[in-house]
Amino acid sequence: MQTFLRGRNLVSDLDFSKEEVETVLDLAWDLKRKRAVGERHAHLLDKTLGMLFFFSSTRTRCSFEAGMAQLGGHAAFIESRTTQISHGDTAKEIGEILGRYFDGLAIRHCDWQEGNAYINEVAAASRVPVLNMQCDVYHPFQCLADLMTIMEKKGRDLRRKKIVVSWAYASSYLKPISVPQSLILQMPRFGMDVTLAYPEEFPLMPEIVDEARSQARQHGTAFEIVHDMKESFTDADVVYAKSWGPLLTTADPDEGKQLQDRYQDWITDQDKMQVAAPDAIYMHPLPADRDIEVTSEVMDGPQSVVYDEAENRLHVQKATMALTMR
């Protein structure tokens, strides 16, 4: 068991080894139990986390903020537009300066081809751990919460369990590709067979897909790409279907929306869930476009685990902060 994570950043899903992820999960379950029975767990007494947001959030902001308070510390919510970033504070200056005020920095920056580079630049200049609250490439804490939830529902040995990571239609906006990318990178390490499904115009980053294939090879799991939503659900143990934008195909949001609108039948509904394993679970990081991305029947149905999944954000983030910010 690898326990020494003090001072470490979590920007990409693979920044922590498999053994280190297992340590995070073990501690997350311990903290979850402690919270359930009201046992104090002030592992970060008097510590502070600076949370810098360039993009809106419900779950991420609230779970990091609540988590820091439960660990005995404090989280400061900072919206980029209320700072001097637009007037010249560079990523290096943010890392240098905020790193001297806080014991950890957490950043959400989802702008395509900007967010990940920004977070890495801050991390390079920061003397304290930098945690990725979602960028254009990765959403590592969502993925840790997803892994924790899958293990709670399917057991800790996930070998030969099939997860389908599928594109779904949304009308609200062109969503980032970070969630599916994190899932295909992390799940093979824990033995899951991955089926990635999307319409041809919605590929993920080729270097991420190559790395996911490499992880699958290393861990002896299956990895396939298909372009039919219902077919991809066949015998799945975990159905994870969400929308993302055609960011690799077009930089024009209007063209992206037109492409997206061609695939309105890519909705998770009961008909498609029928071809998955009878005890399959349905997952979504939320927010979802209800009755567009997924029917309310599925979202509110017995196979849906979306609220447990949202709750587990709190526990994996507390575990990671306790390990890295001591």
CB of 163 to ligand CP, least distance (A): 17
**Closest CB to ligand CP among 142 and 195?**
142
Tokens read off for 164: 């389908």
**Closest CB to ligand CP among 58 and 296?**
58
CB of 177 to ligand CP, least distance (A): 14
- Residue ranges that bind ligand CP, judged by CB under 6 A: 57-60, 134, 142, 285-286
**Closest CB to ligand CP among 246 and 285?**
285
CA distance 44 to 99: 16
**Closest CB to ligand CP among 118 and 223?**
118
CB of 219 to ligand CP, least distance (A): 26
**Closest CB to ligand CP among 10 and 259?**
10
CB of 28 to ligand CP, least distance (A): 17
CB of 171 to ligand CP, least distance (A): 17
Taking CA atoms, 97 is separated from 55, 91, 127, 236, in Å, by: 21, 10, 9, 47
Residues sharing a CB contact under 8 Å with residue 30, sequence separation 6 or more, in sequence order? 319
3-state secondary structure 1-62: CCCCCCCCCECCHHHCCHHHHHHHHHHHHHHHHHHHCCCCCCCCCCCEEEEEECCCCCHHHH
Among candidate residues 146, 218, 214, the one with its CA nearest the CA of residue 182 = 146
Using Cβ positions, the residue closest to ligand CP within the complex turns out to be 60
Residues paired with residue 104 on neighbouring β-strands, in sequence order: 49
**Closest CB to ligand CP among 134 and 221?**
134
CB-based contact 232:165 (threshold 8 Å): no
CB of 286 to ligand CP, least distance (A): 5
CA distance 109 to 197: 26
Between CA 180 and CA 189, with CA 184 as vertex, the angle to 5 degrees is: 145
